[in-house]
Structure formats: structure tokens, C-alpha cells
Amino acid sequence: MSDPIKLNRRNLIIGASVSAAALAACSKSPDASIVKEAMAKEKVPQENTPQKTSVETPTQDKIDLTGISILITGCSSGFGRLGAEHYARLGAKVFATMRNLPRPEAAELKALAAAENLDITVLEIDVTKDDQVKAGTDAAIKAAGGKLDVLINNAGMSIAGPIEAQDMAATNLIFDTNLFGPQRMSKAVLPAMRAAGSGYIFNVTSQLGRVIIPGFGQYSPTKFALEAMSEQMAYEVAPHGIDVTIIQPGGYPTKIWHNQNAPSAALKARLTEDIITAYPAFTAGMGKREAGGGEADPMDIPRAIAGAIAMDKAARPLRIALHPVARPQEAINKVSAKMQLAVLGNSPLGPIVKGVLD
């Protein structure tokens, strides 16, 4: 293990420069590409992280997911849609869920599955609705023979603007989707996983669950909370033979950037003029986002998840940081793991914590 990161003048100056770059660019493209640009300019070091956060996974052509059942939330686009296709092509039995059925994206995915003879079942689940979570997961568990092998909590959303601009309607919506949604889904599948003594849960957080860029509303708060919830759950379910892995994508070109426009515009319409004028850099572009995420390949996420599923249980990581260039969260992951081991490593919980982190 390399030496811990030191809070010296050089690192503090780098941090200030990254923040300044983010602030200057936020009204145009407030995403992880800002972090990439600022880190490259300031030569922020990347960490080669031990403690199962940077892992070697099998090559995709050697992965066989035959016999494995996987439920994914948020499959209308992005990582969820790409993942549904990818895992099914590797042999998995996939339950691809999305909101507001019927919809064109569901019909398209069903047609693709039929054309390629893929085992994909499309189910309706809005992760903010208790009844749909129960009905959808019950149907999937029954179809899978009584237990799901893998849950991928992928559904998420973003609403732009400064924190002061986030009213309780916007705050409740994003927390209900990004944090309470994974909690609902996990509670729905865990009893059967515990009974079987096995299971695997992936929670998709974000680089912005470790690093904060201003102007993203409650996005980072929800992702920080999901990081904490996921790690705590990992310790708690490990004795039941269940694994948890946190996926931390950087900026990728998915529809989350476009999809934030409607809720961001609705929020802006509710704002008073004094809030709008107090934060011009963060309110000017609300509801007007055209694209984001740079040119990174979104397939990085499904490939990493498939690789983790195929790994030996003892080697499965707690966190996987993903981006071809900028992964500042790796340094934070390293410090966090070291502190967890320092605090709990020699306690009665030590064996569980070490098993998850080492």
C-alpha cells in the first residue's frame, strides 16, 4: 500500500484549482468532464487503489452468465439498457425494468430480444412506488425460480441548480429516486437471497458520490448517501453470503444529462427572482442541457459488472471506479478503506470488515 495522501499546500492548491475550473464551466457542462479537464491541467495524481477497488476481471469473451438471473432498474436507456442486452448475450436471464409502460423503449427491447433469442423479460417498476417494486420483484423472483441472483440498482436522475434553489418537491423526488429507490429494491430481494445464502447487489452511484461539483442540486448528496448505505449493507449482508459492489462511473454520454432538463426547468419556474439572480452561474442553464459525459464508452459499466459477477466471490470488490481518464474517487476510496480498517479492523466486526475491504 502506498503512503496515505497528505493535506499539504500543494494538494490544497490543486483542490482549489479544480473547484475554480468547475465553477467557471458549470453553466455550460457541469459534469465529470470538468474534473477530467481540471485534473489534467493541475496534474492531479491517479491512485492505483488496493483493497478491491481496482480489479482485474475476466475478458468478456470468456464470461458465461448462463443460469444467472439479473434484475436491472432504469432500463429505458443508458447503462441499464446496455446492460440488459449485454448480460443476456452472455447467457443471463434478464429482467429489464422501467417506468411508465407501455413505452417505445420497452417495445424496442422486446423486439431485440425476440430477434436475437435473448432471455429478456421487460417489467414495469418505478422505484419510487412501493406497489410497483413489490409486484415487479415478486414476478421476477417467481420467474427465476424463487430467488434472484443479481440486483442492479441503476435507475437515477439529476436536477440542476444550487442547493438553496432546491425546494422540497425537487429534493423529495431525487432522494426518492436515487436513494430510497435502491433501498426499496434491496429490501424486496434480500429475504430470498438470505434464504438461499447467496446473492449480489450492485448500486450505481457516481464519481460525484465522492467528489462534489457545485450546481448539481441534490445529486451529490443522494449519491454520497447511497455510497454510505451500500457500504453499511455490504458489512451487514456478508454473513448471509451476499455481496455488494458500488459502481462509481465518471462522466459518460447517457440520457441522464438530457433527462434532467424537464425537472430542472420545472424547478426553475418555481424559483423566485432573487434566487435566480443570486446564483447566475448555476441557474442560467437550468433546463437547457444539450449533452454531457464526453466521449467515454458507456459499455464500460456493463462490462465491469459482468466481470465482477464472473469473479470468485472472495475477489469481488466493494467499489469499482470507472472512467478512462479521470478517477479522483479512487484516492478517496483508498483513504476511506484504510480508516474503516483502522477503526473497526480489530473490533468484533473486524473479520467482516476485512472480508469486504481486503
* Residue-wise pLDDT tens digits, 109-166: 999 999 999 999 999 999 999 999 999 999 999 999 999 999 999 999 999 999 999 9
Beta bridge pairs of residue 246: 203, 319
Note if the pTM is more than 0.75.
Answer: yes
Q: How high is the pLDDT of residue 26?
A: 45
**C-alpha–C-alpha distance, residues 334 and 342, integer Å:** 12
Digit-coded pLDDT (tens) for 42-100? 455 454 433 454 556 678 878 999 999 999 999 999 999 999 999 999 999 999 999 99
Catalytic residue selected from 219, 235, 252, 279: 219
Digit-coded pLDDT (tens) for 221-268? 999 999 999 999 999 999 999 999 999 999 998 888 789 999 999 999
**C-alpha–C-alpha distance, residues 98 and 128, integer Å:** 12
> In this structure, is residue 114 part of a structural domain?
yes
Evaluate whether 115 touches 127 at the Cβ level (below 8 Å): no
H or E segment and range at residue 35: helix 32-42
- Nearest residue to 80 (alpha-carbon basis) of 91, 96, 65, 63: 96
Range of the domain at 329: 9-357
Q: How high is the pLDDT of residue 256?
A: 83
Residue 87 annotated to the active site: no
Q: Assess whether pLDDT exceeds 90 at residue 33.
A: no
- The CATH number covering residue 309 comes to 3.40.50.720
Q: How many domains does the chain have?
A: 1
**C-alpha–C-alpha distance, residues 252 and 229, integer Å:** 24
Q: How high is the pLDDT of residue 13?
A: 33
Strands, sheet with 319-322, edge to edge from the N-terminal-most edge strand:
120-124, 93-98, 69-72, 150-153, 199-204, 242-249, 319-322
Evaluate whether 1 touches 47 at the Cβ level (below 8 Å): no
